[in-house]
């Protein structure tokens, strides 16, 4: 361990961990011994509260109360209850967030709703570096709408402001870039979009749970986000939709299933949207997955996001500090300024894929993003400064010993 480098920061990893008020929260998660988990930005680890909650719902509710559980255990309102828990994490007042479906499906609903709301000819502005699914959904919407399809302008990130003019009806952005971790100023861009008369749709998949978000204060129109990353809701956990109260009475969405109907059990012939945010539901909620997410969210009870964010900034700074100049070919592509990045640090390297495999073999789990990115995400709820120190040391060792040159590590798996 290089003590000079560590003392040049502001303490050893041990000292930083001892001074960390969030350190005890690590006990709320199942984390395999000997593993440094730096992929909670892709799939959060298992919160200890989840198996118990699931067992209860499976055995006592589904198993014992059968279909009566929809009423007796209020399954029918689970999307709203979980939505309200998420609302606190993203700065949304009551009645504006509902838990449902995947991010991709929710984005389709929200984009269609925004298109229906905007009075001007439809034009969606987004960035080339957006998460591909978000752009694919726009393409899908265009195919569906045929001649009525909105114009799409997908530009480089640094050209966004230049293209944000009165011809744009919807600005569609992901706040934290999945590759680089670079973060947009959500309030600033929302204000600028609205100043030219556009609506904003934010994807908060890499934001919620690790940033201090204030959607209401920023006057955001629409947002979607993910349940299985920093919210730790489990593989394929449902996502969520935020629609500002001011829009709810005037928007509809095209996946007009019975759960979004004003009276699902009237079984009436025609669709009539539920009042409020419930109209963004479509089909039957996935009660087991949503139960897991519900239990996972209990880790946030009583927690101030400001504290979480402050630790995230520090973990990132520490990782940059420990990895600076360890190899000429390893290029930091995340912003050095903590105010401009989310909770991940990414590097570019021509051999990124085998490097990530070598890290994983050595017990440091990060991920690879094509074509050449090593991505290390950290969640202040369970990651320690010791984790960061170990990850940096292993990365250094891999590069120095050329462990990643092992041909076996080049075999691409289906999921990277």
Ligand X SMILES: Cc1ncc(COP(=O)(O)O)c(C=O)c1O
Joined together, the tokens standing for residue 128 give 């080339």
- Does 211 participate in binding ligand X (rule CB under 6 A)? no
| Rounded distance between C-alpha atoms, residue 351 and residue 357, angstroms | 10
- Does 12 participate in binding ligand X (rule CB under 6 A)? no
Annotated catalytic residue 240:
no
* Cα dist from 82 to 75, 78, 87, 203, 316, whole Å: 11, 6, 9, 18, 30
- Does 134 participate in binding ligand X (rule CB under 6 A)? yes
CA 125 to chain centre: 21
Residue range at the interface with ligand X (CB under 6 A); choices 13-21, 45-53, 159-167, 203-211: 203-211
* Active-site hit among 85, 229, 278, 279: 229
Name the residue among 319, 260, 324, 210 with its Cα closest to residue 76: 260
Residue of 57, 103, 199, 395 interacting with ligand X (CB under 6 A):
103
Output the CA torsion sign for 187, 211, 91, 296: positive
Q: Where are the beta strands (DSSP E) in 259-357?
A: 331-332, 344-348
| Rounded distance between C-alpha atoms, residue 122 and residue 146, angstroms | 13
Q: Least distance in Å: CB of 84 to ligand X?
A: 21
- Does 37 participate in binding ligand X (rule CB under 6 A)? no
Q: Least distance in Å: CB of 344 to ligand X?
A: 11
Residue range at the interface with ligand X (CB under 6 A); choices 98-106, 141-149, 326-334, 383-391: 98-106
List Cβ neighbours of 215 (8 Å cut-off, separation of 6 or more): 90, 91, 92, 96, 202, 223, 242, 244
How many chain residues touch ligand X (CB under 6 A)? Answer: 13
Q: Least distance in Å: CB of 131 to ligand X?
A: 4
Q: Least distance in Å: CB of 393 to ligand X?
A: 28
Annotated catalytic residue 348:
no
| Rounded distance between C-alpha atoms, residue 246 and residue 286, angstroms | 28
| Rounded distance between C-alpha atoms, residue 180 and residue 131, angstroms | 11
SS (H, E, C) 50-109: HHHHHHHHHHHHHHHHHHHHHHHCCHHHHHHHHHHHHHHHHCCCCCCEEEECCHHHHHHH
Annotated catalytic residue 129:
no
- Does 207 participate in binding ligand X (rule CB under 6 A)? no
Residue 241 or 362 with smaller CB distance to ligand X: 241
- Does 203 participate in binding ligand X (rule CB under 6 A)? yes
Annotated catalytic residue 131:
yes
* Active-site hit among 26, 368, 375, 385: 375
Residue range at the interface with ligand X (CB under 6 A); choices 129-137, 265-273, 280-288, 377-385: 129-137
- Does 226 participate in binding ligand X (rule CB under 6 A)? yes
- Does 174 participate in binding ligand X (rule CB under 6 A)? yes
* Active-site hit among 131, 178, 382, 385: 131
* Active-site hit among 39, 203, 221, 387: 203
Q: CB neighbours (10 Å) of residue 268?
A: 12
Residue range at the interface with ligand X (CB under 6 A); choices 24-32, 66-74, 102-110, 338-346: 102-110
Q: Least distance in Å: CB of 270 to ligand X?
A: 29
Annotated catalytic residue 229:
yes
- Does 26 participate in binding ligand X (rule CB under 6 A)? no
List Cβ neighbours of 383 (8 Å cut-off, separation of 6 or more): 26, 37, 38, 40, 315
- Does 202 participate in binding ligand X (rule CB under 6 A)? no
Where on the chain is the footprint of ligand X (CB under 6 A)?
Answer: 102-104, 131, 133-134, 174, 178, 203, 205-206, 226, 239
């Amino acid at each position: 361990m290089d003590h000079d480098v560590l003392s040049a920061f502001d303490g050893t990893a041990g000292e930083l961990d001892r001074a960390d008020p969030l350190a005890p929260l690590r006990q709320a998660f199942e984390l395999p011994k000997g593993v440094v988990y730096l992929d909670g930005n892709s799939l959060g680890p298992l919160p200890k509260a989840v198996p118990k909650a699931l067992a209860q719902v499976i055995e006592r509710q589904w198993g014992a109360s059968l279909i009566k559980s929809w009423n007796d255990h209020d399954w029918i309102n689970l999307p709203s209850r979980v939505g309200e828990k998420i609302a606190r994490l993203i700065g949304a007042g009551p009645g504006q967030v509902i838990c449902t479906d995947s991010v991709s499906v929710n984005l389709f609903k929200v984009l269609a709703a925004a298109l229906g709301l905007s009075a001007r000819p439809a034009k969606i502005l987004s960035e080339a570096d957006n998460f591909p699914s978000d752009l694919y959904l726009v393409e899908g919407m265009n195919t569906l709408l045929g001649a009525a399809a909105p114009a799409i302008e997908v530009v480089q990130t640094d050209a966004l402001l230049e293209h944000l003019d009165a011809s744009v009806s919807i600005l569609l952005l992901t706040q934290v870039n999945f590759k680089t971790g670079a973060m947009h100023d959500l309030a600033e861009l929302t204000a600028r979009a609205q100043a030219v008369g556009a609506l904003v749709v934010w994807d908060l998949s890499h934001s919620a749970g690790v940033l201090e978000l204030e959607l209401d204060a920023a006057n955001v129109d629409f947002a979607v986000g993910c349940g299985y990353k920093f919210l730790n809701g489990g593989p394929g956990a449902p996502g969520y939709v935020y629609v500002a109260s001011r829009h709810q009475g005037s928007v509809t969405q095209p996946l007009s299933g019975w759960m979004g109907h004003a009276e699902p059990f009237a079984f009436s012939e025609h669709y009539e949207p539920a009042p409020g945010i419930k109209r963004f539901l479509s089909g039957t909620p996935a009660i087991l997955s949503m139960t897991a997410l519900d239990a996972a969210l209990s880790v946030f009870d009583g927690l101030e996001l400001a504290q979480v964010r402050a630790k995230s900034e520090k973990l990132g700074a520490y990782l940059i500090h420990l990895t600076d100049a360890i190899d000429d070919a390893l290029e930091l592509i995340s912003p050095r300024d903590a105010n401009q990045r989310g909770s991940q640090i990414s590097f570019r390297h021509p051999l990124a894929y085998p490097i990530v495999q070598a890290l994983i073999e050595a017990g440091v789990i990060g991920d690879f993003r094509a074509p050449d990115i090593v991505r290390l995400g950290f969640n202040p709820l369970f990651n320690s400064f010791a984790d960061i120190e170990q990850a940096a040391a292993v990365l250094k060792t891999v590069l120095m010993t050329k462990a990643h040159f092992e041909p076996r590590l080049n075999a691409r798996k289906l999921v990277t």
